[in-house]
Amino acid sequence: MTPQLIDPFARAITYLRVSVTDRCDFRCVYCMAENMTFLPKKELLTLEELDRMCSAFIGLGVEKLRITGGEPLVRKGIMTFFNSMTRHLESGTLKELTLTTNGSQLERFADDLYAAGVRRVNISLDTLDEDKFARVTRWGRLPQVLRGIDAAQRAGLRVKINAVALKGFNEDELFDLVRWCAGRDMDLTFIEVMPMGDLGNEDRVGQYWSLDDVRARLSEQYRLTDLAERSGGPARYVRLDETGQKIGFITPLSHNFCESCNRVRMTCTGELFMCLGQEDMADLRPALRNHPNDDAPLIEAIHGAIGRKPKGHDFDYSRQRADGQVSRHMSHTGG
Ligand code: SAM
Ligand code: SF4
């Protein structure tokens, strides 16, 4: 399909990430406050509205849909939504349906996700140490997540582990994580911690561990081959020659790859963020709700929003401050 959503910098928008809930069963320290206030349920798009929104984007050339949150698998009835998206995979208009999850509910849902057409899943895991896991997620339990990862692999889902690189927290586990993923045939991506949400007492600059350093440390033990592969996001990949494993680096801080950005993000209330790192958004919900039987106003609103997509974000730690910080929590926009 010819992409129909072209932004002012001639980038084709073919990738939509959708947060289906702001709620979560964990409280990761870099993502949420422990006493988070969540949106009233009536604010959320219903499952039918989520379907209509996503279908409108797919009709406009979006080929990849990533479901996220909050924790997407705690949204009630979420499999109904996944199952309804299967029709777009079957028609060939949607090329990939996937999700990012903390893994806590995968034991229950892995088979159903595979049956709905999901083939790959990103699972967030920062540490293999049970105590550290409990500390960083506050409410999470590692064995439950490990069972979820087992279930995903058994179901036939290809698993990629996402680990936030945190100075003084998982630095000492770098090689353990790499070996553990290699042993289970899983790719691994490191993410630089971003200045999202209410920093409160959190020392985000102090937590920041540059992936340049991660890469340098890896190259002390492995030969790294740069891969040309691009996902249109801020990730770059290398292959470890010794294990054949793919390692990704998501570096919104130390390197900015906005020029090839192909994505937009929708919140669970129907706000469209054209850039993760900027405050500007378009509220698509009125166009959807005020015209229940006519998608034309929604399509017009989507075009208007894409026409405002900024060139890039302004995150910057180089002055030892969390510059470019945005006040939204990651769980709101959807990571
Ligand atoms: N709950 C799901 C999960 O944890 O995978 C999906 C939503 S979560 C917001 C998506 C990703 O964002 C996770 O990999 C998480 O580690 C990452 N994330 C959250 N807050 C972040 C921050 N401040 N900086 C960088 N990554 C962050
Ligand atoms: Fe929940 Fe994911 Fe945020 Fe952790 S990173 S609190 S699992 S939404």
Regarding the beta carbon of 334 and ligand 2, being less than 6 Å apart is answered no
Residue 136 Cα to ligand 2 middle (Å) = 10
The domain total for the chain is 1
Mutate to test the pocket of ligand 1, among 24, 28, 74 (most ligand atoms within 8 A of CB): 28
Residue 267 Cα to ligand 2 middle (Å) = 15
The domain that holds 315 is classified in CATH as 3.20.20.70
Does a structural domain hold residue 6?
no
pLDDT score, position 261: 86
Does a structural domain hold residue 232?
yes
Does a structural domain hold residue 237?
yes
Ligand 1 atom with the smallest distance to the CA of 68 is 6
Ligand 2 atom with the smallest distance to the CA of 137 is 4
What is the extent of the structural domain holding 307?
A: 15-333
Mean predicted confidence (pLDDT) in 47-68 = 98
How many Cβ atoms sit within 10 Å of the Cβ of residue 320? 9
Does a structural domain hold residue 3?
no
Does a structural domain hold residue 10?
no
Residue 316 Cα to ligand 1 middle (Å) = 19
pTM of the model: 0.92
Does a structural domain hold residue 199?
yes
Does a structural domain hold residue 4?
no
Ligand 1 atom with the smallest distance to the CA of 26 is 1
pLDDT score, position 204: 56
Ranges of beta strands (E only) in the chain are 15-19, 64-68, 96-101, 120-124, 158-165, 187-192, 224-226, 235-240, 246-250, 263-266, 271-273, 281-283
* pLDDT, tens only, 74-103: 999 999 999 999 999 999 999 999 999 999
Q: Which residue lies with its CA nearest to atom 5 of ligand 1?
A: 101
Q: Considering only 98-107, 206-215, 309-318, 324-333, which range has the smallest mean pLDDT?
A: 324-333
- In 3D, which of 120, 136, 24 has the Cα closest to residue 65? 120
pLDDT score, position 146: 98
SS3 content of the chain, % helix, strand, coil (to 5): 35, 20, 45
Regarding the beta carbon of 27 and ligand 2, being less than 6 Å apart is answered yes
